[in-house]
Homo-oligomer: A and B are copies of this chain.
Amino acid sequence: MPVGTQATIKGLTPDQLHATGTRMLLANTYHLALRPGERVVAAIGGLHTFMGWEGPILTDSGGFQVFSLSARNRVTDQGVTFRSHLDGRLLELTPEHATTIQEQLGADVAMCLDHCPALPASKTAIADAVERTIAWAKRCKAAHTRTDQALFGIVQGGSHADLRAQCAEELLALDFDGYAVGGVSVGEERAEVREALAVTTHLLPVERPRYLMGVGRPQDILDAVATGIDLFDCVMPTRNGRNATCFTEKGYVKLRNAAHRSDPGPIEEGCDCLACRRFSRAYVRHLFMAKEMLGPILASIHNLTFLHRFTSKIRAAIAVGQFVQFRLDVLEALGQ
């Protein structure tokens, strides 16, 4: 899922987004609750109508942004109080509130409010966050009324197998529609992400979607799929795109490099995205040097197309029992 923080994947129309292979996207509850407000979105008919996207949408709970973006946030068992990063207003986010806002936004999948502590954290702090995450998940489940909206639980616990197991066990008892692995990709190294996944994914039911939040590098996706993860979201394809960095099977291409100045070739040979079919590296580089919007747009289109092609190759490799070899080949080509 690409990330449409403010109900738009930056610079792309829904048709352009669909053409990249995108079928589901994520929008951020925190940002949308602050602006334009969930009531405005509901008045227009919900997120799908508001942003013109007919495919599935997932909203996060808002918790991650409260912890990372807002000023002076304070966590109690009741919820989180924080100041808006836009205007400094003092606000409170509780499990009930997070659930109601997401029902008003009207995405297809809502997420429970979880407590995602800043890392590194002591095991005691992480255990504390796990307890709170479980208590909050119960309250989200109780507050959730829309039958046309799925609700996913989020497993916390860092890289501690016992805490992850405790969290998963309690969440499974609540019978969520899907489960997410939270608290990874917030600054850890690849090895730590792998460790957290190794002790978590297998605890989650294979017949429900298993979702790794905030991960999107090809090598990390491969690691996660190897443990059984089905669903990802990440800002990287679009954020990297806006910074003129493009994914290719051979690694990153930095489009601002002078080497591309007169290069008539596409961003990636053989890619069928709009950017690669119609434009040269020389042109896309020119757009970035001239600070033209079309540069970020074309690079985002390429990166999203690349990642969707990549995950579709993963599905094909799994289907024919070749995933292990596929993974090795990809990592070798990337030099990972």
Contacts and interface: CB of A to CB of B under 8 A. Distances in A.
B50 A8 contact: no
Interface string A1-24: 000001110111111100000000
Nearest to A293: B11
A52 interface: yes
A229 interface: no
Contacts of A274: 13, 15
Nearest to A31: B290
Given A11-B294, A13-B294, A44-B280, 19 more contacts: A6-B286, A6-B290, A8-B287, A8-B294, A10-B292, A11-B293, A12-B294, A13-B16, A14-B278, A15-B274, A35-B289, A36-B286, A40-B286, A43-B264, A44-B262, A44-B264, A50-B286, A52-B278, A293-B296
A283 B10 contact: no
A262 B290 CA distance: 36
Given A44-B280, A52-B278, A283-B44, A36 B293 contact: no
Number of copies: 2
A112 interface: no
Contacts of A292: 6, 8, 10
A36 B261 contact: yes
A162 to B, nearest CB: 42
Contacts of A294: 8, 10-13
A36 B6 contact: no
26 contacts: A6-B286, A6-B287, A6-B290, A7-B283, A10-B292, A10-B293, A10-B294, A11-B11, A11-B297, A13-B298, A14-B278, A15-B274, A35-B286, A35-B289, A35-B290, A36-B285, A36-B289, A40-B282, A44-B262, A44-B280, A44-B283, A49-B280, A50-B283, A50-B286, A52-B278, A293-B296
Contact of A283 (B51, B279, B286, B297): B51
Contacts of A7: 283, 286
A45 interface: yes
A286 B8 CA distance: 10
Interface in A29-61: 31, 35-36, 40, 43-45, 49-52
Contacts of A16: 13
* Most chain B beta-carbon contacts within 10 A, residue among A51, A282, A294: A294
B44 A297 contact: no
Contacts of A51: 283
